[in-house]
Amino acid sequence: MNRIPRGLRASIFALALSAVGAIDSTSLDAQETVAANLGQDRAVLITGASSGIGLKTAEVLAANGFFVYAGARKQADLDMLNAIDNVEAVRLDVNVQEDIDAAVQQVTAGGRGLYALINNAGVVLLAPLVEVTEEDLAFQMNVNVYGPYRVTKAFAPLLIESEGRVATTGSISGIVTWGLGGPYTMSKHAVEAYTDVLAIEMAGFGVDVAVVEPGNYKSDIMASMVERMRERGYSTEGSMAKERMDALLASPADRGQYKEPDEVADAYLDFLTSDSPKRRYMVVPNEQEANATIRAHIRRLVQLNEDQPYEFTRDELMAMIDEAMAAEND
Ligand SMILES: NC(=O)c1ccc[n+]([C@@H]2O[C@H](COP(=O)([O-])OP(=O)(O)OC[C@H]3O[C@@H](n4cnc5c(N)ncnc54)[C@H](OP(=O)(O)O)[C@@H]3O)[C@@H](O)[C@H]2O)c1
């Protein structure tokens, strides 16, 4: 199956043709118009579109012919989003049911229906699991897990009506685990299960479901966390992980060392335009992150299998992997 995002495919095709002189600039414009209409004016709602992955995805989808309802919480962000062509801002805190209900009304009144929902809003919280307060853990789960649950539930009738698509921004932290990342990795592991169950339940209604699992990309997620911690007077004093927490908190909060999340936005474009969308889109900026994620999954498989009455042999496991690969590539 060809996994190059369709928008990219159309552009590559146009570039290849122009490189060999097969088309003139007029037909190149025509090709670009084809790429720009991939979304066919279909409506998509993206939560957490004020920055990072959500903003980039809003820009890419809007540029490819989708009509984007872009969720944000602050007036300045709503104004910024409203200034983008093909984008209409929606005031939406995923923890506030009144906001969600109003968003359903706004989208319904828009008269375009809703083809897709992208549950992207998310926060990160770092703390040792034996120290994190119940309040902080609830905050983490509330945004990253209950948020997608609430918003998807509210928009399900519109998505079923359009036989549309739902995706959630998970993370490679839905597969890998790392010390001090307990609250965040727990939330992103929950998103994995949420996606698989939702996919089973929506299959009969023609709604496709996916999780996009980014590695490390530039965004405001760490800066927001540091700001929240400062506001609450958080201190690492007395923590069992003081040194590591201090080191983590001292790393560049602007995540300027990472790439812009264009690849993540392209994965969303692929999910929304592919005839055979994938369930999982792992999108990482380098091989090292791919390697660590796949190995973490394999390690879990091996641990699950070993030393139990129905242990499978290596050959049997390999046959299972071959079978799964064949099924996915059907
Ligand atoms: N960047 C990465 O490397 C990376 C990797 C893996 C997964 N992710 C995931 O990607 C998603 C987007 O994060 P990001 O990295 O792009 O960070 P970001 O720039 O901080 O964006 C997070 C977005 O979520 C919004 N948000 C936070 N709490 C919200 C709430 N209660 N209701 C509605 N919106 C809320 C923020 O809005 P405000 O501006 O109003 O706070 C912002 O628009 C998250 O789910 C994150 O876990 C990111």
129, 58 contact by CB (below 8 A): no
Give the position, in ligand 1's atom list, of the atom nearest the Cα of 187.
Answer: 47
Domain shared by 209 and 329, yes or no:
no
Q: Is residue 227 part of a domain?
A: no
Q: Is residue 101 part of a domain?
A: yes
How high is the pLDDT of residue 35?
57
State the residue range of the domain holding 155.
37-222+257-285
194 assigned to active site? no
* Rounded Cα gap, residues 170 and 214, in angstroms: 7
Q: Residue 216: CB partners within 8 Å, gap ≥ 6?
A: 255, 258, 284, 285, 289
Torsion of CA 229, 95, 278, 70, to 10 degrees: -90
Q: Is residue 7 part of a domain?
A: no
Give the position, in ligand 1's atom list, of the atom nearest the Cα of 172.
Answer: 6
Q: Is the CB of 119 under 6 A from ligand 1?
A: no
- 166: helix, strand or coil: strand
Q: Is the CB of 48 under 6 A from ligand 1?
A: yes
C-alpha of residue 54 to centroid of ligand 1, in Å: 7
Token pair for 316: 């049997």
Q: Is residue 313 part of a domain?
A: yes
Q: Is the CB of 148 under 6 A from ligand 1?
A: no
- 170: helix, strand or coil: coil
Domain shared by 132 and 195, yes or no:
yes
Domain shared by 300 and 218, yes or no:
no
Q: Is the CB of 216 under 6 A from ligand 1?
A: yes
Helices 6-19, 25-36: inter-axial angle, 10-degree rounding? 180
Token pair for 286: 């380098």
- Residue 5 sits at the vertex; the CA angle it makes with 17 and 162, to the nearest 5 degrees, is 125
Domain shared by 318 and 192, yes or no:
no
Q: Is residue 201 part of a domain?
A: yes
Number of domains in the chain: 2
Q: Is the CB of 142 under 6 A from ligand 1?
A: no
Domain shared by 269 and 322, yes or no:
no
Q: Output the tens digit of pLDDT for each of the chain's 330 residues.
A: 334 343 333 333 232 322 222 333 334 444 454 457 899 999 999 999 999 999 999 999 999 999 999 999 999 999 999 999 999 999 999 999 999 999 999 999 999 999 999 999 999 999 999 999 999 999 999 999 999 999 999 999 999 999 999 999 999 999 999 999 999 999 999 999 999 999 999 999 999 999 999 999 999 999 999 899 888 888 899 999 999 988 888 877 888 889 999 999 999 999 999 999 999 999 999 999 999 999 999 999 999 999 999 999 999 999 999 999 999 987
Q: Which of 69, 115, 146, 184 is catalytic?
A: 184
